[in-house]
Structure formats: structure tokens, C-alpha cells
Amino acid sequence: MKRVLLIVGGGIAAYKACELIRLLRRAGHAVRCVLTDGGAQFVTAMTLAALSEDRVYTSLWDLKDESEMGHIQLSREADLLVVAPATADLLARMAAGQADDLATTVLLATDKPVLAAPAMNVRMWQHSATRRNVMRLRCDGVTILEPDEGAMACGEYGPGRLPEPAAIAAAIERALAPRSRPLAGRHALVTAGPTHEPIDPVRYLANRSSGKQGFAIAEALAALGARVTLVAGPVALSTPPRVDRHDVITAREMSDAVDRALPADVAVLVAAVADWRVEAVADKIKKAGAPPTLTLVENPDILATLARAPNRPRLLVGFAAETSEVLAHATAKRARKGVDWIVANDVSGEVMGSERNTVHLVNAAGVESWEELPKRMVATRLADRIAAALA
Ligand code: CTP
């Protein structure tokens, strides 16, 4: 038996929340409802109370609630928070981190997973403000179901209908299921971030890699049960849970750290390693006189070296950041470096440092293009694929 806190927002689809409660109760789960003011325009607290066989919470300002069950406790006692229907307004307030009613306060205070099933007019769903809010929430780890497509109560047609209660109940079961750990017993090696190559004691060559994608991949692999070694260049990111992190500065340090971490079942080299370093690092270069000439020498190619190493990981995944002819370059890079998969992306836009990524997975089977996703979702999808490949 799991405990679901169901937040019923305002919308004609609120009546479907009643059927959802019935399905969850029939599956043996306890359901407790929070009804927003908008939701109360469409279903009554009495109906929800009867179906859930529990009292329904409506107001943040009900002092009796605070003495019996505060909003913090309400948000933590559940195993999962479900927002259905999630209106455009509710999603916007969630994305902004507002806490101006009981529903949003509970959502802000919770430490439990959140699943939202949106329902709204098709134009509202497609509006760039809603797209932004949905993307923001997904980046924050909220699971947001895709609305159904069809004729809407307002007479328009398109995506925006609340998914059928059975589909929401199935998504709830997936969210409640104990996470399988298909990578338990496997060792995954991940490199992430840039490298810094010193010019003199105070200056260095660098690039704009933030490390976010690599850190997200390390986190996703650990979540699937892998033992993860993360070799990180200089980045301003906190270490994901259950990940063994080794900080390095230069490409040669990264190469050494990778050697030390072997053997591994899978290596995902996401780091934007500097291709060159300054040949001779001397005392601080003084400004007097003509601008200095820097002589560069090539850094070790960690990925290509690993591909030829006797203890090569069974699955070797490289990244290819390109600014033109992404697929052609990525396909050639895969062959040249001798890696199994290349994850290619176009970095001519705002990818570096941002939260999103549009990638292509290039492997022996060809090219698979993924839609634009938050980096966390690119990471979980890639981790799932890795788990399937190693199974
Ligand atoms: N890589 C590496 N060591 C290097 C350079 C790159 O391990 N010294 C890895 C990256 O972590 C990434 C892939 O190789 O997985 C990307 O290589 P990239 O720098 O794009 O390829 P290059 O061989 O430098 O090709 P080009 O500069 O022509 O795009």
C-alpha cells in the first residue's frame, strides 16, 4: 500500500480525478486529496472525501489543520504527489516556486517525487510560456505526462486533454515502483567538464563546458545501481549522490585519473578535453614588449587511447560537440576514434552551460535523433540505453 497525495486543480477535467481516486483505491493505495479553489468550482470536497475515505484539505489558513496536520507533514507523509488536472496556472506557479495556496505550498515543501498530468486549452498548452514552465519543471525532476490529443471541452482540437484516468494510474504505478537497478555490480567511468591548460602560473586555456551533462549522466548511472567514478575538470557543480568524484585540472591529469579508474564496464567520456596545451609553462609572462607567441602541443586523446587499450571497457561512449555537419562529423569521429557510440550535439547555439540539449546517438545501427530534452532526461535515457546494452 502506497500513499498518494492527489492535488486536484481547477479545470473541467477535474471530474476525472474522481475516477482516478477509484482506480488508485482499487489498486490498494491510500489517497488523500488537496483541492484548490479552482478545483472546487468543478468537484466538491465532499465527493473527493467520499471516494478517498479521508478528509480533504483545501486551505492553507485552516488553523485546525496546522495543529493536527501541518502542510509540511501533509507533503511528506505521502509516497508520491500527483497533480491532476494540472492547469497552466498551477504549472506556472509550480515552476516559479510560489507558495500562495495549500497546493503550491505542499508542492514546494515536499521531499517526495511529483507527477503532474496537465489539462488545458490547446493554445495554452502550446504557448511558449507553458512550454518554458514544463521544461523548467522537468529540469527540476518533476514527471509531467503528455496530455492527450482530441476534441476539447472548449470546442478546439489538439493536445491538452487530461490523459485518461487509467493512463494516469499506470504512470503513478511506474513512479511508485521500486527503481530497478540493472547496473548493480557494474563499474561506470564518466569524464565531465572542461580542462584548464596553464599558460603561466596565473593564466590558462579553457573552454565553455559547464560539466552539467556529464554530471547528470554520472547521476543517472548511479541511480541504476552502477558504481560510478566521475573524473571532473574544473566545474562549479556539487557531486551527485553515490558518485565517487576525482577532480582534475589538465588533460594529462584527466588521462591519468581515467587510467587509475580502470577497469570499467562502460566509459562515457563527456569532458571537453583541451586538444592542446602550452608546450613550456614558465614564469608569469610580462606585458612589456611584443605579445607572446604560444607554442601548443597536442594533449593525449583520452577517448582514442582508451579505445585501443587492452583493458578497453566493453562499452565506450564518446561525445562530439560540433558546430556544422553534426552527423557527418560524428559518424566519422566514431570510426576514427574506434568507439561504440557517439552522442553528437550542435554547440553553435546556447547548449554550453544551458539546461537543455538536442542530441543524436550514433552507433553501428545508424543515427537516432532525440528531441530537445533537459540534460537530466538526456542522461536518464542514455543510462537506460547503456543498461540495456550491458544486460
Ligand atoms: N576527447 C578525449 N580526449 C581528448 C579530446 C577529446 O577523451 N584529448 C573525447 C571527448 O571527451 C569526447 C570526444 O573525445 O568524448 C570528443 O572529441 P572532439 O574533441 O570533438 O574530437 P576531436 O578529435 O578533437 O575532433 P575535432 O576537434 O576535429 O572535432
Looking at residue 66, what is its pLDDT?
59
Mean pLDDT of 358-369: 94
pLDDT digits (tens, 9 = 90+) for 2-52: 999 999 999 999 999 999 999 999 999 999 999 999 999 999 999 999 999
**How many other β-carbons are positioned within 10 Å of the β-carbon of residue 336?**
12
Looking at residue 82, what is its pLDDT?
98
Instruction: Report whether residue 301 contacts ligand 1, using a CB cutoff of 6 Å.
Output: yes
**Burial call 264-289: b when 16+ CB within 10 Å, e when fewer:** bbbbbbbbbbbeebbeeeeeebeeee
Instruction: Report whether residue 207 contacts ligand 1, using a CB cutoff of 6 Å.
Output: no
- Which cell numbers hold the place of 121? 486549452
Ligand 1 atom closest to residue 337's alpha carbon, by position in its atom list: 23
Binning pLDDT at 50, 70 and 90, where does residue 63 land? low
Instruction: Report whether residue 315 contacts ligand 1, using a CB cutoff of 6 Å.
Output: no
Instruction: Report whether residue 316 contacts ligand 1, using a CB cutoff of 6 Å.
Output: no
Could you please state the CATH topology (level 3) that the domain comprising 3-176 is classified under: Rossmann fold (3.40.50)
Q: Where are the domains of the chain?
A: 3-176, 187-390
Give the residue ranges of DSSP H helices in the chain.
15-26, 45-52, 63-68, 71-77, 88-96, 102-109, 122-126, 128-139, 165-176, 212-223, 251-261, 302-308, 326-337, 375-390
The CATH homologous superfamily of the domain defined by 187-390:
CoaB-like (3.40.50.10300)
Q: Does 3-176 match 187-390 in CATH topology?
A: yes
Testing ligand 1's pocket by substitution, the residue of 196, 269, 296, 323 carrying the most ligand atoms inside 8 A of its CB is: 269
pLDDT digits (tens, 9 = 90+) for 232-289: 999 999 898 889 999 999 999 999 999 999 999 999 999 999 999 999 988 899 888 8
Give the residue numbers annotated as catalytic, written as ranges: 154
Ligand 1 atom closest to residue 306's alpha carbon, by position in its atom list: 7
Minimal-distance CA residue to ligand 1 atom 9: 303
Say if residue 263 is preceded by a cis peptide, omega within 30 of 0: yes
Instruction: Report whether residue 88 contacts ligand 1, using a CB cutoff of 6 Å.
Output: no
Alpha-carbon span 108 to 106, nearest angstrom? 5
pLDDT digits (tens, 9 = 90+) for 163-187: 999 999 999 999 998 878 999 999 9
Angstrom CA distances, 185 to 142, 191, 268, stand at: 28, 20, 17
